Structure 1
């Protein structure tokens, strides 16, 4: 409820048209209103009745006698004339809060009314003492494990920060302010809704304590746990919530340091606004190692989420492009067995499932099914049918399907045969009634008649369904045998299914590198036929993401086309490479694991805990980490090219690099940086083939390769990486050999000598095109063993005498 309000006919000149009301707590509008006319006079305002008021830049009204007394909360413009006709103000002590405990509303509506960051768990409201905090069942997976009511009738709330030790910055610092009005919200009964619990405050004693919890990266870290007391004693926990019967923490006597679950923490008095207390101890670790399943992970344990985001962004950019939206796109995720290709697909599915219909296809499970295109179409039809929702929509989908197939222009004989058969059947049924019958035989004749009718209808229905619906692989084979151009029929049906889908379709083809060469070639050839011959004008294109080891696919094509091997091979590029390059527009290499990532993953699997920092260092380390992250984030926001981004990345500490690799990748795939990159890569045009396919593949692959190397922790230079990609595009056999023999390339500081390659590479080393490219490498680019290792995502190997030193980096 507003305590006081008033109007002025001369306040805050604007330029806003239409009759509109501004809400209290909207920080952006407050600033804009105040900046329109600082010093503007306000009269006839009850809270400021002792004298006229003026507004400052913060939107606060000042009275000549009462000081800060009012807050601007809304102004009105004339709808037609566009002039300001009045403003409203409230007393400075009134925050305009009018939501009752128990009320449910959309979170977007809540922030529209009062302001605050709608993405944060702790959302301070500008120009107000309100602070909104949110909690829910999903918080446990991010390490917010302390949230809930406790036996002492206080609500414990975990501070913000998903990884690393939590410190009193940003939301945590704001929540620790004892003067704030804490408004607690929990998950509502409907999706995207929140329920207001009530107003809370921090108690004067024991307002917070330190606890331990796993972060989103799976590592044990220190967290801040706030103790909140309800302002209204009638506010109690919901009946569905069970109180946590943990013992009440005890306060340290000196209030300057505490020991939490065996960890000692010294707190800067300026950082911590109140003394902290000892929190609940973590459960002891079992002495037995955990069993780890080999099934694809659904959570990001190896920092692969950034790569999934890159692929998702590429799919969305391609599907939204005006020039490419009706064209299909094939992406190859390349990596040996066990590198996590299936996990990437799981992470990618989560990112695109809202906008795309994902059709998951296990090639190995369907390896014995022939023809291979039938298994693809059957899986697509099943997913589209499920996406229809209700049973009657699925039934209507099948009706439309059989109608379309029956009236297909290229197969009119199916519809004709059905109509003629129906007329003959009707005549057969009516004929006996047109003739005189004998009473003694009428019953027997009628029985035979109806049995014949039923059998005839069943036969006709079965025959039509075998042509119209492909319910089995046998029916698909029959189509290939009886139809003049069976693949024309298949591609037409494929296009119709894509148009019938409620969303654009993305196929996930997995485990193809477990199939024999014949099935690999048949399936990929079917995919290529479908995407190439489908009439996509005005329709929808399909996108394919194939996760398979590239060497397996190339060998399958070379084996299947053995008689042609050598006929079209090129120096450094075999028959298998030519097929794969023609099939896929983008190849995404699986990231290698750095030593640090390997150790983190192993610790996670074994349940090992990282040793805590020495006493007194945790708070200092956390503050330094926050400063480094803020600095890196700031520099990234001003970077507009790959090289500027990598310079900021190199300047950061290894810890900051590891924690912020995903931010670097997000910046690398931004539209601004991509546009700059396209201009930068133009200088490599003379070094590439004149083949348009090679040019497209080069530009498509560079951005992804840059992101992959960054996720691995490699800061290889942009020109060096682009030059390596030129070699990889034109002579993949050479780069594959070098990548497979990184540890035998020689000294890391000297340019690699190609005369050490095996005898089989002699035709390649004598290729004048290769020598031309090597001579015209960009300035500063040297193909040293260390540079090759960095381009492949591996670290340099130190000399035996320097085992304790850091590996040499390019």
Structure 2
């Protein structure tokens, strides 16, 4: 690893160095303290020489507080409360390091000691990985960290554990104290990895899949309850998971499919069908491929757990094809019978050698009859096989549409019949739509939204949001001037109408551990170990009310990476329960004026859905387990800003400090010109300043947002 630990663009963002935190020339120096405000004697002496007050009072576990100083000639000092009377835990260090990352500006350097390894009693290796995970999850892309190790032996051991070359690490040691150089290991020791989607959770995505699966099941139950009969499962439900290429959307779909195939509380599971849009875009129409994939995918899926239903579905489909073409087949059979009788009765013999005029006329009539018969036969073939071809080829489907009255009515009815024959809740995973051309993207999504809107199927679309928005913008370019708004182009308006739920992929807190794994240094929990931890967490926390479960996890996050992940997953899933959704709706009532002058019911529902998922993801990452009211309100404000002005939210996510200029100062450099009017827009200012809700969005709040 050549001395730095990181991942992707962050490969050179973290150095492990041998030396003192105060000697690194860093912009920020981190000093560990206990929850009672005490620091070690060595740190107390250094702080006193710098004119920095030691911390006073009590702190929450994992809290980060900036020191008060009488001098500005030294680095900023941040106290990290990571030590309790019982010691230190990995999650606490990650939480503190993440908060420090949020407070770090672009191009700044932060010097960390090995948090928790002194009075906290933690081993250096887990402490180092916890610092890396937390800092890289919270810090901006240009920030760097130095993890400082005082002891030579500990430094050597860490480098050996990390499978790196200590000669390439920075070091403040002298020639007399420098340990002998260890020869670098050959690059051939690093394995080759495929770039396929993940089936084993190594970036903490499975917890998000659990949250989305629970929300999908709840949405279908809600639609069923609201139906007039109480048994109708409702209509189409669309969920959008957006992230750039390579962020792991397909891997998330894999984990989500596994969750949905697992029986729920009612003992029923979903039929999950994969639809790769990119593979089907070259042959239209899109709805035919989608309908065909639903049928073939459902048969294949049902064979695995309900073979009787699979056979029933197959029989229903083929009977439908036969029955649909029955009139044509009967006419064809009748014509064939007439022709056979005519041949056997010698009716056509006189055509060759007519003996008189009457016979000649008779021959002509029979010839005309033969021609008509041939035409009727062709018509019978076309009519009889029309629906057959419709169901077996895209070309046949196009021909059928061209030659049939109300073909789309037949398509809608047949898909409803398919859903009824399947008799399970159906979820279609639409992947790679962000590789398709704009006309196909729009035709497919509009077909789902309009043509199939009354069919009870859930569609999960994993695609880059900008790609989809640009596709709509290109197809409806002539209407842009009349419809779009600053910060919300016309393409985003279409996406808002299309999807009931839209969520991004959060930044992973396990990036450093994943990097360690692909370099053959396992640092993520084994899948079997994780499953055992999940069973333990469910037994302990599954029946607890959500707020009590979160407080228990905040006090006792777990003793191993598997326990920590499993306990956070257990409480995060509860954040999107139906009871939690009702609680969220009540908590969001004061935010209604911030939704615009005339908010529609759809926007209110989307806010409740998006806020619930955002809170669940925060819980997954160990953020705000204590239910801090101000943080919760800031999450709501950011959710509203992202919904109403997505382009502005994207710009602020990259440059959080720019939020200070909204309503107060010139537009900062780097902000796109089309967003400049929003910096003086009264409604934007109200949301950023949290008018009427006792909270506001500042740079630190935006950096702490897990879905930015």
Q: Do they superpose with TM above 0.5?
A: yes
- Which residue number corresponds to residue 368 of structure 1? 282
Instruction: Provide closer, same or farther for how the CA distance between residues 394 and 299 of structure 1 changes in structure 2, counting only shifts above 3 A.
Output: closer
Query: C-alpha separation between the residues in 1 aligned to 2:481 and 2:663?
Result: 32
Q: CA deviation at 1:406?
A: 6.2
Q: Which segment drifts farther, 320-329 or 654-663? A: 654-663
Cα–Cα, structure 1 residues 679 and 747, in superposed 2: closer, same or farther, change >3 Å?
closer
Choose which of 354, 357, 363 in structure 1 pairs with 2:271.
357
Aligned to 1:604: 517
Alignment of 1:680 onto 2:567: no
- Are residues 759 and 387 of structure 1, via their aligned partners in 2, closer, same or farther at CA, if it must alter by over 3 Å? closer
| Rounded Cα–Cα distance in structure 1 between residues aligned with 2:347 and 2:404 | 46
Q: Deviations over 1:291-332 (max 9, x none)?
A: 211111111111111111111111111222212631221111
For residues 289 and 427 of structure 2, the distance between their equivalents in structure 1, rounded to whole angstroms, comes to 16
Q: Which residue of 2 aligns with 1:297?
A: 198
Per the alignment, do residues 574 and 747 of structure 1 end up closer, same or farther by CA in structure 2, a change over 3 Å counting?
closer
Q: Is the 8 A contact 1:402 1:469 kept in 2?
A: no
Distance across 2 between alignment mates of 1:512 and 1:759: 30
CA apart distance, 1:693: 1.4
Please tell me the root mean square deviation across aligned C-alpha atoms, in Å. Answer: 4.2
Q: 2:386 maps to what in 1?
A: 466
What SS class does the counterpart of residue 278 from structure 2 fall into? coil
Q: Structure 1: 5+ residue runs without aligned partners?
A: 1-162, 165-217, 220-261, 264-284, 409-413, 442-452, 612-625, 795-810
Distance 1:663 1:640 in 2: 10
On the 8 A contact 1:719/1:778 being kept in 2, the answer is no
| Contact 2:242/2:503 (8 A) holds in 1 | yes
- Which of 288, 310, 317 pairs up with 1:401? 317
1:711 matched to 2:620? The reply is: yes
Task: Tell me whether 1:521 sits opposite 2:428 in the alignment.
Answer: no
- Decide whether the 8 Å contact of 2:214 with 2:573 is kept in 1: no
Instruction: Return the match for 2:469 from 551, 554, 570.
Output: 554
For 1:165-204, list aligned pairs within 5 A.
none
SS of 2:279's partner is coil
Compared CA separation, residues 422 and 752, structure 1 to 2 (3 A): farther
Q: 1:652 to 1:572 in 2, by over 3 A?
A: farther
Give the counterpart of 1:380 among 291, 294, 297: 294
Q: 1:369 is paired with a residue of what secondary structure?
A: coil
Once residues 754 and 673 of structure 1 are traced to their aligned partners in structure 2, the CA distance between those partners, rounded to angstroms, is 41
C-alpha distance 458-416 of structure 1, shift in aligned 2 (>3 A)? closer
Query: Larger deviation: 387-396 or 720-729?
Result: 387-396
Q: Which has the higher helix share?
A: 2
Partner of 2:398: 477
How many residue pairs get aligned? The number is 471
Task: Select which of 468, 487, 501 maps to 1:572.
Answer: 487
Match of 2:168 in 1: none
Equivalent in the alignment of 1:36: none
d(CA) in 2 for partners of 1:370, 1:754: 50
Which residue pairs with 2:650 in the alignment? Answer: 736
Partner in structure 2 of residue 132 of structure 1: none
Q: Output one character per residue of 1:651-705: Cα deviation in whole Å (capped at 9) or x when no partner.
A: 5669786563212213323444333222212222222242111111111111111
| CA–CA distance in structure 1, aligned partners of residues 546 and 192 of structure 2 | 46
CA contact (8 A) 2:209 2:256 kept: yes
C-alpha contact (below 8 Å) 2:663/2:685 kept by paired residues: no
CA distance change for structure 1 residues 703 and 544 in 2, over 3 Å: closer, same or farther? same
- Cα distance in structure 2, aligned partners of 1:320 and 1:498: 16
Q: Which has the larger radius of gyration?
A: 1
TM-score under structure 1 length normalisation: 0.52
State which of 474, 497, 500 in structure 2 corresponds to 1:582. 497
Unaligned runs of 5+ in 2: 1-88, 91-128, 131-159, 162-185, 228-232, 263-268, 353-372, 525-532
Whether contact under 8 Å (2:572, 2:619) holds in the other structure is yes
Residue 458 of structure 2: SS of its match in structure 1? strand
- Retained in 2: the 8 A contact 1:592–1:712? no
- One of 304, 312, 327 as aligned partner of 2:213: 312
Pair 1:638–1:777, CA change in 2 (3 A): farther
How far residue 402 of structure 1 moved from its aligned partner, in angstroms, is 5.1
- Per-residue CA deviations over 1:597-656 (Å, capped at 9, x if unaligned) read 111111111112569xxxxxxxxxxxxxx9xx99x9989976545xx7766665566978
Task: Say if 1:437 and 1:660 are closer, same or farther in 2 by CA, change over 3 A.
Answer: closer
Give yes or no for contact 1:636–1:648 (8 Å, CA) kept in 2: no
Q: Does 1:697 align with 2:606?
A: yes
Larger fraction in strand? 1
With over 3 angstroms needed to count, the CA separation of the structure-2 counterparts of 1:528 and 1:657, relative to structure 1, is same
Change (3 A) 1:792 1:523: same
**Partner Cα separation in structure 1 for residue 441 and residue 400 of structure 2:** 22
Structure 1 residues 433 and 580, CA gap change in structure 2 (3 angstroms)? same
- 2: CA distance, partners of 1:707 / 1:575: 30
